[in-house]
Amino acid sequence: MALVLNVVREGLRNRSLYVLTGVGLLLMFLLLVTSGGTVRDAAGNDLLADAAGAMRVGFALAGFLGALVAVVLSMNTIPRDCDRGTMELLLVRPLARWRIGAGFFAGNILSAWLFLLALVVPLFPALTLRGGAAQVPDLLLTLPGIFLNVALVSAVTTLVSVWLPGPAAGLVGLLAYGLGAFGPELAALVALTDAWWTPVARAGLWLVPPTGEVAASVLQRFAHGGVGDPRPVLAGLLYLWATAGLTAASFGWREVSRRAALLFLGAGLVLTAALLAAPDPADWTDEDTALLQAALRLGEQVADLFPGWAPQETPVLLTKGRVNYLVNFPSELEAPPGRPVGAGTLRVVRLDRPEVPVVANGVVKVSGRAVALVAGRAQLEGAVGRLEAGLTLADGGEAELLKGMLRAGAGQSLTDEAYVGAVVHELFHVHQIPALEQWTADWDGAYAQERLWGEVYQDAENNRLQNLEAAYLLEALQAPDDGAARDAAARFLAVRAERAGYWQTRLGPVVADPLLELERLYEWLEGLARYVQAHVEPGGVEALMDELTEPVEAGIARDRVYRLGAAQALVLDRLIPGWRVEAMKGVSLEDLLREAVG
Amino acid sequence: MEVIVAQGLRRRFGRVEAVRGIDLTVCRGECLGLLGHNGAGKSTTIRLLLGLIPPTAGRALLFGLPAGHPSVRGRVGYSPESPHFYPFLTARETLDFYRKLSGLRPGQTDLDGILALVGLSDAARQQVGGFSKGMVQRLAVATALVGDPGVLFLDEPSSGLDPAGRVAMRALIRRLKESGKTIFLNTHIVSDVAQVADRVAFMKAGKVVALEPPVGDLEARFLELMGGGTADGPGA
């Protein structure tokens, strides 16, 4: 204990850490209290706009600065004592040598925690000043995670500093922190590979502290729903246990008493048992079976909307991140290797290697066959939650897509009906694939998409016209007779033509036309899928009409193509009964409306 | 009774063999002076005898047990060549820190008495960061005395001290010897050894080239054995 306190006292004398902490506090004050800045997520939302968002930013900032402090503080304590000879004075004492290693280990963590405390405590008054006092309990519950992560970074730095000089140990600590923050993404990348080095990379991931997983699971406190997964925290504690053991043992494992060894091994066994016993969110559950069966059943009920669409025969790849399940894959095709899972009437195979090791919805090809890609319910909700929690560095793009599709509002949880609707949405996308090839727009071009969502949909005049489009589509849907509906549709088309003209003038036809074609494609692709989705969700059509009354600027940019596309489809229902057959030939909804209006 | 035993002790660092086969014994209550030029291997020998580094060959025993054995460490005090202490602790806090690391309860060792012995009573409440070199050296000897060990390894205790400080340090070592401590005194200052050691081991290029009582003109004997300071081999 005396050594621990001395390490802490020495750590607290490190002036550079006070500078780092001071800069951090100033930054947080500017961001959180005076709102002197803007932090946007991948969807363009200003995270500092409300108290909860501001706290998420503050939390992330405190965690990052805390990790830096932990590295700076932990990298030097052991090398410095070795260099100046104080280590020898410790080693000649009758104290068991492993205790010296343990003392440095614990002292470093405690020192880092004290600095972290200085960074975190101001978050509470800042939260209160921003009117978010009600969120204090949430903030308190997230603290163990951030403290655990700082301890992990300190632990790995301390362990490495036993063998390496301080600066080198610091670099390793920073590297471990960086790799740990992207641990889930790295695991996903490794899972996609099948090279000679894959087993080495997989083993190497065990050396990385699970800070990314811990942060994600803890930040989930700020988000609605998601996976209540205790395993990242348990894995973090086990990592801490292992690094503590290695650090202590490197000072003299022969001097470990039997009692201490038994206590240490017992703690490791308890943690391992808890980790193994904790439910794995990646396992297939009865809920998965029930939801998927419901989706297939509901899909079948609306399948006659589009002749030829057979939801029950559409294979599904259900991704839970690191584990994928292939459902109802045609037996005549060679499926990737895996083992069957009991799932009622569904044919489910747990794949040995994931095809899509991330949380995502869409369409992918498996053994050359298009299959609907859907994330597990909890993973999907978790991804949306993480988007709202500002944790969008890695999966922001996907989460944004999911959020748009699910129309998930902040703080709302994902209902069973919404999830089932999302699955039907993807099942329908598989049916759209052949017709998609008729389109010439660069639908997969990241640059074009970026420009459409980031420039066109951020323009005030564009948004004014799109709000008019939404209003005329709603008018068409609520019109007392078909004539009035047709008139409203004509006005919609006139506004749309005006908007096209606006962009052609502003950007020139060479740039504007492909962007507008891309918009039409997305309205066809996502609008139709949203239209089908609305038919299987209770009150789905009414909800869609309600959305048309909201300003287009209110939602995320991409969401517009879903709602305006689906609204055009609903108007077409009133004007041309056979429009869906034409649509599945790849004709745009706008062209079909133009034909209907005459 | 033999307290310190070195048998064929060797230590290699890469291509350099710092200690090249040392055989010596030190009996209870004896003060052995290890004399040699800088780089002769004296400090490495002390570190081997303390068990801080393992030997490449041979063995070191303290009280009949391998050097560094946990049950031996409580009976050994060590004052390193370039001592460094936590600068934010006072002299007394420093001793108290090492008392705690030695597993001693408060009162089990007389910290104030130790400070008085090394002449640091007046500086007991001063932070070590403000100490002079001589005060730090004396504090190092004081920390070695915590727990009242039977054997003291003093590595260049007069290093960097002014003449008055060296006189005081010699007086201190003499007092410790008179109190019955076994002392392994490592130094390159001939006069220190001449006045306090019972026997002198002359060390050159990793080897003990002579082990004898300090009789006659020790300085002349040193120059004779060291061959004018070359480190290529025995000079005699």
DSSP state of A210: -
Q: Please report which confidence band the pLDDT of residue A497 belongs to, taking 50, 70 and 90 as the band edges.
A: very high
Whether residue A320 sits in one domain with residue A416 = yes
B182-187: strand order across its sheet: B76-79, B151-155, B182-187, B31-35, B199-204, B207-212
CB B137 within 8 A of CB B156: no
8 Å CB contact of B102 and A6: no
B13 to chain A, any CB pair closer than 8 A? The answer is no
Q: Are residues B83 and A89, on separate chains, in Cβ contact within 8 Å?
A: yes
To the nearest whole number, what is the mean pLDDT of chain B? 86
CB-closest option in A13, A89, A93 to B80? A89
- Kindly state whether residue A470 falls inside one of the protein's structural domains: yes
Q: Name the percent of chain A lying above pLDDT 70.
A: 87
Domain boundary among A388, A405, A432: A432
Separation between Cα atoms, residue A297 and residue A247, nearest integer Å: 57
Q: Sign of the C-alpha dihedral, residues A530, A531, A533, A539?
A: positive
Residue range A428-447: average pLDDT? Answer: 79
Measured distance CA(A398)–CA(A377) in Å, rounded? 15
Domain identity same for A363 and A495: no
Q: Quick one: DSSP state of residue B180?
A: T
* Domain identity same for A472 and A398: no
- Written as six digits, the tokens of A287 are 């809920």
A 10 A CB-CB count for A156 gives: 29
DSSP run (H or E) holding B35: strand B31-35
Whether the CB of A598 is below 8 Å from some CB of chain B: the reply is no
Q: Choose the closest CB to A9 out of B78, B80, B88.
A: B88
Domain co-membership, A362 together with A328: yes
Q: State residue B147's pLDDT score.
A: 84
Q: Do A92 and B143 touch (CB under 8 A)?
A: no
Regarding whether A466 and A542 lie in a shared domain, the answer is yes
> In which residue are the tokens 């440095």 written?
A104
Residues 6+ apart with CB under 8 A from A360: A319, A373, A375, A395, A398, A401, A402
A482 and A353 share one domain: no
Contact, B58 vs B22, CB < 8 A? Answer: yes
Sorted by where each begins, the domain ranges of chain B are 31-41+74-229
What pLDDT score was predicted for residue A575?
92
Residues A409 and A502 in one domain: no
Query: Hey, what CATH class is B31-41+74-229 in?
Result: alpha beta
Nearest of B56, B40, B37 to residue B48 by alpha carbon: B56
Is-contact A590 A496, C-beta < 8 A?
yes
- What is the torsional sign of CA A397, A401, A407, A411? negative
Grade residue A60 by pLDDT with cuts at 50, 70 and 90.
Answer: confident
DSSP string covering A160-191? HHTTS-HHHHHHHHHHHHHHHHTHHHHHHHHH
Domain assignment present for A220: no
Domain that holds residue A534: 446-597
Per-residue pLDDT of A112-125, as tens digits, reads: 998 888 888 877 77
Q: Are residues A384 and A316 in the same domain?
A: yes
One domain for residues A451 and A416: no
Banded model confidence at residue A220, pLDDT cuts 50, 70, 90: low
CA distance B169 to chain A (A): 20
Q: Report the Cα A78 to chain-centroid distance in Å.
A: 38
Q: 4-43 in A: which are within 8 Å (CB) of B? A: 6, 9-10, 13
Supply B126's token pair: 């001063």
- Most confident segment among A355-359, A475-479, B226-230: A475-479
Task: Report if residue A213 sits inside a domain.
Answer: no
Predicted confidence (pLDDT) per residue in A129-164, tens digit: 767 677 777 777 778 888 999 999 999 999 999 999
Looking at this protein, which amino acid is placed at residue B124? A
Question: What pLDDT does residue A335 have?
Answer: 84
Q: Are residues A127 and A77 in the same domain?
A: yes
Q: Are residues A389 and A412 in the same domain?
A: yes
- A185 close contact with B: CB closer than 8 A: no
Q: Counting one residue from A and one from B, how many pairs have CB atoms under 8 Å apart? A: 57
Any A CB within 8 A of B102 CB: yes
Q: Is residue A290 part of a domain?
A: yes
Q: Which residue of B has its CA nearest to A97?
A: B70
Rounded mean pLDDT, A74-102: 88
Number of domains in chain A: 3
Q: Does some domain include residue A183?
A: no
B100:A13 CB<8 A: no
**Residue at which a domain ends, from A162, A178, A194:** A178
A300 pLDDT above the threshold of 70: yes
pTM recorded for the entire structure: 0.72
- Is residue A379 domain-resident? yes
Residue A510 in any domain: the answer is: yes
Could you say which residues from 189 to 218 on chain B have a Cβ atom under 8 Å away from some Cβ of chain A? Answer: none
Task: Assess if residue A110 is contained within a domain.
Answer: yes
Does residue A480 sit in the same domain as residue A585? yes
